Amino acid sequence: MIKLRSYPMIKVIGLCHLVFLSNEVGRLVGEAAKIKMFVNPTNTVYDAKRLIGRRFYDAKIQEDMKLWPFKVIKGTNNIPKIVLEYNGEMKEFFAEEISSMVLVKLKEVAEAYLGETVKDAVITVPAYFNDSQRQATKDAGHVAGLNVLQVVNEPTAVAIAYGLHLKTDISHDTNVLIFDLGGGTFDVSLVNINNNGTITVKAVAGDTHLGGQDFDNAMVEHFVMQFNRRHKTDMSRDIKAMGRLRVACEKAKRSLSSTTDAPIEIDDLHQGIDFSMQITRVKFEHLNGDLFGKCIQLVEKCLGDAETNKKDVNEVVLVGGSTRIPKIQQLLKDFFNGKELSKKIHADEAVAYGAAVLAAKLSGESNQKVKNLVLLDVVPLSLGVSIHDDSLSVVIKRNSPIPVKQERIYVTSVDNQSAITFDVYQGEKSRAIDNDWLGKFQVAVPVALKGMSRVNVVFEIDVNGILNCSAEELTTGLKKKIRISDDKQRLSKEEIKKMLKDAEKYKLDDEEYKKKLFAHNLLEEYIYDVNAKIKSIGSIDNTKIPKEELEKMENVIRSASQILDLSKFADVDKYEKTLNELENVCLPIIAQLMK
């Protein structure tokens, strides 16, 4: 395995996507944020990945909103916004802002590891992210202060990591199926890896709303129903209770990967009622049977798109925390007629490792294995325009290798038409409106009988999987260009500029919080130190400390402890002043006694 010392892998566990904001502790990310779910669920955000690049009235967003404890509202241009309380007032955040907070945290982890500033990054996304979601992810990277070198599909990153692992083991082409089931998304890719360093993605399939979170939801719904039926109440509107139940269900789900049953016990869950139930692995599998089955259906779809028989798949690689679920492994093994599933690479680290390798290549790494890496990815979803009968006219087919450029000619559909409007969609449905709308552009044409004026439409997808469109009216030669990422339904330059300004403010707030925490801890440690010294001296000779000196120290310690016990952090100056007062009183007395 090659060593990528300058391009650190960051192990991103499922909790890392949690962000918590509050007046008292500022901004927390990951495990620290999860702890706050118990006490302040409405200010703890997760699943921002499911919001990013989507519109408020998206059916899947509306379904998810019923389960989230935090509030989501419709922002400008139908972009969803998350509402949280911060510094005593309600603030609205785009999903890109929440994602940027996670990226900032990862940036800090990388910088602490390297001991230097990190400016460039390769960001991985689910293979089935559409154009809007990819562009929104790049925006999040920009707000986090990162120059995004490339956006790469997560299973493709796994293929890079696995390809380097395989290179010394194979002398012929190998078909590898990457089965990537994480906390919120599912991707499956079929890739071909040869010993020359070429990784070719043959087909992808997936669902950006299928993962461990959905398995948790099924358990939560089951237990809410059981609780309500048993106690003749409705706990579904108790946000704190729902948050506590969700955390317990996630813990039980993890346990069921290694045991056949797991307890769920929560004191005072709702209206003073304790909750205690067992869930068996069989019951868990029954609750999620349809979702597990959908995973296998998408594997079949991927193989069908690649025109590959399952017996021609040499390796099946598991990636993502949810692949630890025994039923998932069993279904996959049965589908491939008993083939052993490969666990040669770490399920949680494979994506990060592959991204690090790609970052090394893009940065000019001299390692020969990295230099020889050739990556051929594909378009996950078809792209086209709506035509006169409301059907989708496909310009670029799904699973086309990228980068790719395709063009089609369109003609006017009515007499005396002065312009043709092109609505751009992404998806596989025959009716255009049933797919994801990405934007629109209009091309002026000479007034003539229908079918006489013609426009050549060009779609071009770059290495990041982001679409650019252009069109040329063939009679006059007039051209029209549009970058879909600038569509009004995306974040505007002004909004991104504001997000950058806010990000700087939150960074300063974080730094101020850290200063307060440091000063708080110094004072707390000194109080413990002084108490320990007093106890130590007293144990040797309890008459050694004069009563008036002891009372003087106890009074100043009591006063300092009251400052520590405040529900909110005090100012740094307050802590430092209190520490100085404590030192001025205690230090001379203890020094004299220690002689």
pLDDT digits (tens, 9 = 90+) for 329-376: 999 999 999 999 987 778 788 888 888 888 888 887 777 777 777 888
The domain defined by 212-290 folds into Actin; Chain A, domain 4 (3.90.640)
In tens, the pLDDT along 182-218 reads: 888 899 999 988 877 688 899 999 898 899 999 999 9
Instruction: Give the Cα separation of 138 and 100 in Å (integer).
Output: 10
212-290 and 379-488 share one fold: no
For residue 109, the tally of other CB atoms under 10 A from its CB is 18
Instruction: Give the Cα separation of 234 and 224 in Å (integer).
Output: 8
The pLDDT value recorded for residue 484 is: 54
Q: What is the residue extent of each domain of the chain?
A: 14-210+291-376, 212-290, 379-488, 494-593
Q: Which of 96-100, 194-198, 305-309, 315-319 has the lowest mean pLDDT?
A: 194-198
Burial pattern 166-188, b for ≥16 Cβ within 10 A else e, equals: bbeeeeeebbbbbbbbbbbbbbb
The pLDDT value recorded for residue 169 is: 54
Q: Percent of the chain beyond pLDDT 70?
A: 88
Are 432 and 394 in contact by the 8 Å Cβ rule? The answer is no
In tens, the pLDDT along 213-270 reads: 999 999 999 999 999 999 999 998 898 899 889 889 999 999 999 999 999 999 999 9
The pLDDT value recorded for residue 309 is: 94
The domain defined by 494-593 folds into Substrate Binding Domain Of Dnak; Chain:A; Domain 2 (1.20.1270)
Residue in 465, 486, 588 with CA at minimum distance from that of residue 533: 588
- Both structure tokens of 317: 């690689």
Within 8 A by CB and 6+ apart from 521, the residues are none
Helix (H) or strand (E) holding 457: strand 454-461
The pLDDT value recorded for residue 160 is: 86
The CATH code belonging to domain 379-488 is 2.60.34.10
- Residue at token pair 């300004």: 501
Which letter does DSSP use for residue 551 in this model?
Answer: H
- Both structure tokens of 134: 């990819």
3-state secondary structure of 528: helix
Which letter does DSSP use for residue 346 in this model?
Answer: -
In tens, the pLDDT along 475-525 reads: 776 666 665 544 445 566 677 677 777 777 777 777 777 788 888 888 888
Among 3.40.630.30, 3.30.450.40, 3.40.50.300, 3.30.420.40, what is the CATH number of 14-210+291-376?
Answer: 3.30.420.40
The pLDDT value recorded for residue 324 is: 93
Give backbone dihedrals phi and psi of 385, rounded to 5 degrees, phi first. Answer: -130, 155
pTM confidence score: 0.75
3-state secondary structure of 30: coil
In tens, the pLDDT along 73-131 reads: 998 878 899 998 887 788 899 888 888 888 888 888 888 888 899 888 899 988 888 88
